[in-house]
Amino acid sequence: MSERFIYCEDREAYSTARVRALEALLIKKGVITERTVDTVLEFFETKMGPFNGAKIVARAWVDPAFRERLLADTPKAIAELDLPDGMAGAEGEHMRAVANTPGVHNLIICTLCSCYPWPVLGLPPYWYKDPTFRSRAAREPRAVLDEFGLPLAKNIKIKVWDSSAQIRWFVVPERPEGTDAMWEGELEALVTPEAMMGVAVSKAT
């Protein structure tokens, strides 16, 4: 591993302190209020998050025609569903869904920074922004997925999609076997953000 990707051990504490200091400074200067950061976080905890993505995927699992429309024109298909206002807003522009099949597994990354479809997946996890993850996932996705606990058979093709401000990708995982009797709401619970990023698959339990 290149040395530039080695972090100090107290990275989390350091980042936290830096964010607190920045927030305090912005409040002091009157750029934001004491509520601003909490309001934004609350919005992405309650309105825009992986629960929206789970609804979209579950609908695609039960409705093949919707799945087709979702893959053909993602924002238009998403607009059909009863989801919160703002799905096409900040970080939700130009979303594109790609579907896993028995022979193809999709993985989303952002090699440049951390572009991510916030309205369907929420805020990106810290490792998504990690330079080591970003470069290795592009270079050796099979090895990286294996380390994530997702060993894929050699005959399964891996497609890596690089998100940007122009296109923000998310994955429609395969519907797990043994879920034929489940209704849409139950299926939603099987769709994790990791599965919609492609670092995991959806499982029946």
Active-site annotation, residues: 110, 113-115
| 170 SS3 class | strand
190 binds Fe ion (CB under 5 A): no
Burial degree of 116 (CB within 10 A; 0-12, 13-18, 19+): buried
Q: Which is nearer to Fe ion, 22 or 112 (CB)?
A: 112
Is residue 109 a contact partner of residue 160, using CB atoms and an 8 Å limit? yes
Q: How far is CA 187 from CA 25, 106, 140, in A?
A: 45, 20, 31
Residue 110 within binding range of Fe ion, rule CB under 5 A: yes
Asked if 134 and 106 touch (Cβ cutoff 8 Å), the reply is no
> Quick check: 167 binds Fe ion (CB under 5 A)?
no
Whole-angstrom Cα distance, residue 156 to residue 105? 7
Instruction: Indicate the helix (H) or strand (E) that contains 106.
Output: strand 104-109
Shortest Cβ 113–Fe ion spacing (Å): 3
Stretch that binds Fe ion, among 7-15, 108-116, 167-175, 182-190 (CB under 5 A): 108-116
Stretch that binds Fe ion, among 22-30, 112-120, 151-159, 171-179 (CB under 5 A): 112-120
Tell me whether residue 26 or residue 113 sits nearer to Fe ion (CB atom).
113
Least CB distance to Fe ion at residue 112 (A):
5
How many residues of this chain bind Fe ion (CB under 5 A)? 5
Asked if 115 is part of the footprint of Fe ion (rule: CB under 5 A), the reply reads yes
| Least distance from Fe ion to the Cβ atom of residue 91, Å | 10
Is 113 near Fe ion (CB under 5 A)? yes
- Token pair of 124 as six digits: 């990106």
List contacts with Fe ion (CB under 5 A).
110, 112-115
